[in-house]
Structure 1
Amino acid sequence: MLRTTFKSTKQTNDSPLLLDCTQFSNTWQEALDRATPYMPKESRYPSLVIPIPNRTDSLIISQGRYYYSPQKTLSTLRDHEAVLQSYDYACWARALRYFDCFGVKLLPVVNRTSCLFPIISSIHHALWINPMEIEEMIKIGDFTRIIMVDGTAIQCFVSKRTVSLHAARALTALATIRRDHLYPDILGHHPLDYLELPNTPFLRSIIKRSKSLQFSIPLSELKRQYETECLTRLFTKLGKKTNLGGLTYTSILNSLNNTYRFY
């Protein structure tokens, strides 16, 4: 078995803030005053993509810096899929749902090195968290306070158990697609064999509960289903453009899945 690799978590944030996800405050205004437009230039995922309370815009925190998007959180991430090198979220989410082991509604965003998992509200304006950037979680009254490695903290009503569950699912999905796409010839038996994780109290607690990190599907199945979903969408669009009424999403998906069974 391969060994899990831990990496340094050192980051800097000269004046980290505590942001309450349930209500707007002077702290939120301070964060927005610091923020610049979100225009990522590399594939590194941010630490947080946060819905601004009672609004339809977003605050992004990446490497201790604050950024602003006038859009909802999922739209922000989807607009930058190419730069962030994310898998197409529509096709990716359908592929995850196909296997019924990654959840149904609040599904993660991934590229080939990292992931973001959503909690709170609907998927379109959820709070997105990078599990590799979480230092620890603390229960304070009815709140869960999530402290990031750069010192930024957010608090919300979601339980610590729920956060850990969504983080574990996101990491498992990331490890599965890394296994399928990048390392199909490497003999690994556990998601941790395919991940390079920071050495944080939060991730150590998830690793201790290793039952939450297990492969549930065979090698190459997630990759194959993702590619099937992408082809299905392409053929559906072609069918609409050429007025081929028989080419529906369901008929194409069934045909491609049946075809794959022979390979």
Structure 2
Amino acid sequence: MSNIRFEELLDNRTRTRAWEDFLAVAETFDPLMVEEISCIIPIPDQLGVLIIAENEVFINRHTAAVTLQQFALAHNFPDYSTLCSVLKDTGYFGKYKIPWVCPYFSLCPLEGGTNGVWVNPLKIENIYTVDGLHYIQLLNGVKLISPVKRYPALLRGEIACGILAAIRQENFHFTLLGNRPIDYLTLPNTDFARSLAKRPLLERFVTRKGELHRRYQQARFLHYYDQLEGNPHTLHWENWQ
């Protein structure tokens, strides 16, 4: 990453010199070599995405949705489509632009569809507007054009962090103690995080402890039960989780 000038701006709609700099040093995406993701950005004018994880950059010749599916499968994280269905059914987290969440971090989609910009809300320094354009600056210095204003991005980040806290409460309740979602999050000292801390989904849990896990396991069982009934020979057991 030493060859990249982080003050340069990434725009997923326009191929600029900054894109060439990032792509020149990007490694081929290997989900097992990536830990916490800061953001996923579609590459303009070609199929593929740039994955930024702290001070590392990776390229994957698939959509953001496929990239997250590959990452979840490699690390045995929840299946996104199943988790989406579960989160929608709770009635607390909306019906569209559902975040991708594992026990360690979350990514919120800023756009609809399968190949928009995905951002880790706890890696955002701030979102600001200049001359009618909206910009996101990440903690590691990366800057990108935001397809939405600050407030909608804040709402998406609130949902992502609220679900992350609920999953952490269910997974780590022997080691993490607290009564509020914010107790299960490590918020950076940034303007954006301070705004997140005031949001209602970080003030109180809206689901009961264990509810998401039970709903997910039931949905996953029904998914594989239907496959077993239909054609058990095509079932990929390595995908069971």
TM-score, length-normalised on structure 1? 0.80
Secondary structure at the counterpart of residue 197 of structure 1: coil
1:237 maps to what in 2? 227
Aligned match of 2:24? 33
Whether 1:204 aligns to 2:188 is: no
Alpha-carbon displacement from aligned partner over 1:215-254 (angstroms, at most 9, x marks no partner) = 21222211111111111111111111269xxxxxxxxxxx
Counterpart residue number, 1:94:
85
Query: Segments of 4+ in structure 1 off by > 4 A?
Result: 11-14, 184-187
1:67-95 C-alpha deviation (Å, 9 max, x unpaired) = 11100011011112133442111211111
Q: How far apart in 1 are the matches of 2:144 and 2:95?
A: 25
Q: In the alignment, residue 29 of structure 1 is paired with which amino acid?
A: E
Residue 155 (structure 2) pairs with residue 165 (structure 1): yes
Q: How many residues are matched?
A: 231
Take 2:39 and 2:118, find their aligned partners in 1: how far apart are those partners?
6
Identity %: 26
Among residues 141, 149, 159, which one is paired with 2:139 in the alignment?
149
Quick one: which amino acid aligns to residue 27 of structure 2?
T
Unaligned runs of 5+ in 1: 1-10, 244-263
Q: Which has the higher contact order (CA 8 A, sep 6+)?
A: 1
Equivalent residue, structure 2, for 1:222: 212
For the structure 1 residues 111 and 26, does the alpha-carbon distance in structure 2 shift closer, same or farther, using more than 3 Å as the test?
A: same
Larger mean Cα displacement after TM superposition, 70-79 or 191-200: 191-200
Could you tell me which amino acid in structure 2 is paired with residue 141 of structure 1?
A: D
The answer as to whether partners of 1:13 and 1:64 remain within 8 angstroms in 2 is no
Q: Tell me the residue number matched to 2:40.
A: 49
Q: Distance in 2 between matches of 1:222 and 1:171?
A: 15
Q: 1:105 and 2:129 equivalent? A: no
8 Å contact 1:48–1:128 — kept in the other structure?
yes
2:113 matches 1:119: no
Larger Rg: 1
Q: For the structure 1 residues 184 and 105, does the alpha-carbon distance in structure 2 shift closer, same or farther, using more than 3 Å as the test? A: farther
Cα 1:59–1:43 change in 2 (3 A) is closer
Specify the alignment match of 2:56 in structure 1.
65
Q: Which residue of 2 aligns with 1:75?
A: 66
RMSD: 2.3
1:13 to partner: Cα distance: 8.6
The CA deviation at 1:146 is 0.5
* Amino acid paired to 1:82: L
Q: In 2, distance between residues paired with 1:68 and 1:185?
A: 35
Distance 1:38 1:163, change over 3 A: same
Query: 5+ unaligned residues in a row in structure 2: which ranges?
Result: 234-241
Contact 2:135 2:143 in 1 (8 A): yes
Structure 1 CA distance for aligned equivalents of residues 99 and 2 of structure 2:
26
1:23 has 2:39 as partner = no
Q: Secondary structure of the equivalent of 1:41?
A: helix
Pairwise CA distance, 1:185: 9.0
Q: Which residue of 2 aligns with 1:246?
A: none
Decide whether the 8 Å contact of 2:12 with 2:44 is kept in 1: yes
In structure 2, C-alpha distance between the alignment counterparts of 1:186 and 1:148, rounded to whole Å = 27
